[in-house]
Amino acid sequence: MSDKHFRPPGPLGFGGAPLGNMFNTVDEETAEGALVAAWDTGVRYFDTAPHYGQGLSEHRFGRVLRRYPRDSFVLSSKVGRLLVADESAPENPPFKEGLPFRVEYDYSSDGVRRSIEDSLNRLGLARIDIAFIHDLAEDHHGAAWEEVFETAMGGAAKALIRLREEGVIKGWGLGVNLVEPCRRALEQSDPDVFLLAGRYSLLDFSGLRELFPACVERGVHVVVGGPYNSGLLAGGKNYDYQEAPADKVAARDRIAAIAKEHGVDIRAAALQFCAAHPAVAAVIPGAKNAERVRTNAELMSQHIPAAFWEALRSSKLIPDDAPTPA
């Protein structure tokens, strides 16, 4: 991998969506405990966004991260949504009880600069290191996504390149749930890192085929979000933010059975599989409390025998060419 592009530290980072009250609420003490536990377990990469609880996650991040030397950690946030004060702001699913702001999309050059300034004010910090253009994909914009993408490439992307050149940020990319926008951004611009959620895991290999080879060739890094696929690989029932389809449940159950045979925790396998690809700089599972943070750190370092990965390959549960830790 080239060192031309900024690389966030890993292998384990902290994803901030849960601290924006994703799916259910988290009290301030619990949120603080999760972030402190992340720091204490050695995490030095933290990712948040204005979208997460309409600014709530950023406020919580700043409250804790301001305690530590700024050069000792890497922080990313997102652009593409602006928050407008509104006491009657509508619900912002999947976030509960967010702050009193209305969310408005803005992928323009001016919108990017305003978004970063607003994020810095919420964080109480003087800089972020990485800015991801958020949700620039079909799952959020429907059939109009290609037009929105072109607007962002002409506005947000160019603004972020200038901010990188000015030293305001160290890197930029897309923060999305789909592969295609990342592939197009590589073709049309000069990103440093992608935050790709759910598209590289033990249950989804689309990033492996459609994006990662080009990233390795260009020296562009990937942060893997959603390594548990919304919880299905961690004992839950959801996949991609909704009830899991039968084929994914069946695949999970087959992996779990092989894991049990080899004395492997399927959650450890999920995290370590994502981290093993050379394009991947960090994996950022969501965590709502300190116990879960500490568990993720332990899972990332657990020994997994090579025979387990060989069994997954021979059972055609992972591709033959997917890198594994052993």
Active-site choice (3, 27, 78, 247): 78
Whether omega before 94 lies within 30 degrees of 0, making that bond cis, reads yes
Q: Is 78 a catalytic residue?
A: yes
Q: Is 47 a catalytic residue?
A: yes
The pairing of strands 101-105 and 81-85 is antiparallel
Q: What are phi and psi of 218, to 5 degrees?
A: -90, -5
Contact 174, 191 (CB under 8 A): yes
Active-site choice (45, 52, 200, 239): 52
Is residue 250 classed exposed, middle or buried when 0-12, 13-18 and 19+ CB atoms within 10 A define those classes? Answer: exposed
> Rounded distance, CA 134 to CA 160, Å?
13
Contact 130, 192 (CB under 8 A): yes
Token reading at 177: 């749930």
Active-site choice (47, 135, 192, 240): 47
Whether omega before 213 lies within 30 degrees of 0, making that bond cis, reads no
* Nearest Cα to Cα of residue 84 among 55, 49, 47, 124: 55
Residue 153: alpha-carbon gap to chain centroid:
21
* Nearest Cα to Cα of residue 75 among 115, 134, 16: 16
Give catalytic residue positions. 47, 52, 78
